Amino acid sequence: ETSDIHGRLFSYDYAVGEQKPNNGLTRIATLIKKQRAENKNVVLIDSGDLLQGNSAELFNNEPIHPLVRAENDLKFDIRVLGNHEFNFSKDFLEKNIKGFNGGVVNTNIIKIADNKPFVKPYVIKKIDGVRVAVVGFLVPHVPTWEASTPEHFAGLKFLDAEEALKKTLKELKGKYDILIGAFHLGREDEKGGDGIPDLAKKFPQFDIIFAGHEHAVYNTKVGKVHTIEPGAYGAYLAKGVVVFDTKTKKKTITTENLPTKGVPEDEELAKKYEYVDKKSKEYANEVVGEVTKTFIDRPDFITGEEKITTMPTAALQETPVIELINKV
């Protein structure tokens, strides 16, 4: 599982002009290919917040976003929509759902008009005769976080976790051998709802819950449920292994986070999307103006420093930087 890639197709951070040692889908790709070489029975999941950040917005007008195309190239099976997927127009959202070759899965996003799911609530994959069900979930606060742009989620409602999962798991009963959660949700919910540990306790039928949203790195058990999150930006690839005995129905489960630090970028993927890196760097380094005065022309009253980092002081004074902000 990957999660919270936030535009990091490459390991370069365009905002600060710095190559990161453990970021990027191109490094993740190397790990994915290694895992597939070792085991043919792989289900590959992205748990959301793929398309926002690190200059990804420069490519929003392409028919299919290059990050979605890259996940198609890597044969991702499942995508979960994260809250940042709703930062843009609904047309953008929908074209990149249709443009994904696998299944887009969220159990709690419902169309208001007919009360039907916006995307598939779950998928069931048969692997060597074993039924693997994957249920997707998104933290339900998009209407709050996108309140200034309601057109981004027009016609949709977002159910809380317990309501949505009760319905979905009732529908799934008897249809799976292995049950996987792919939840864009942290260990705590920002608005006081259920977090990952709460859901693992309420729904112990899950074998593994792959998590996202929190940008945290953890791997722990809640009761019998394995819960794991791979951080953000491609720092880790979360791996879960389920060995299922078809005769006894016994499962042996292990989980781990595989680091990308020191892992080389996949040359094939990097070459194909070289134009993304080139355009992003050009945009980041474009000169838009020159500063001819000192932004902060008096010392910070606490530190005594004259630096741009003393913005709280600048906000209370007549300084060039605040004049610029007011005019722009």
All structural domains of the chain with their residue ranges = 12-281, 291-328
- Six-digit token string for 203: 């729904």
Return the pLDDT at 290. Answer: 81
Are the beta carbons of 109 and 117 closer than 8 angstroms?
yes
Return the pLDDT at 216. Answer: 97
DSSP E strand stretches across the chain: 12-13, 18-19, 45-46, 78-79, 103-104, 109-111, 122-127, 130-138, 156-158, 178-184, 208-211, 217-222, 225-230, 236-244, 251-259
Rounded CA separation 244/97 (Å):
32
Its pTM stands at 0.89
- pLDDT averaged over 10-residue windows placed end to end, the chain, 328 residues: 98 94 97 96 98 97 98 98 97 98 98 98 96 98 96 98 97 98 94 92 98 98 98 98 96 98 97 98 89 62 55 55 62
Give the helix, strand, coil percentages of the chain, each rounded to 5. Answer: 30, 25, 50
Return the pLDDT at 190. Answer: 82
Return the pLDDT at 313. Answer: 53
What's the sign of the alpha-carbon dihedral 156, 95, 68, 5? negative
Return the pLDDT at 192. Answer: 82
Domain covering 12-281: architecture: 4-Layer Sandwich (3.60)
Return the pLDDT at 288. Answer: 82
Return the pLDDT at 254. Answer: 98
Return the pLDDT at 301. Answer: 55
- Six-digit token string for 7: 């535009």
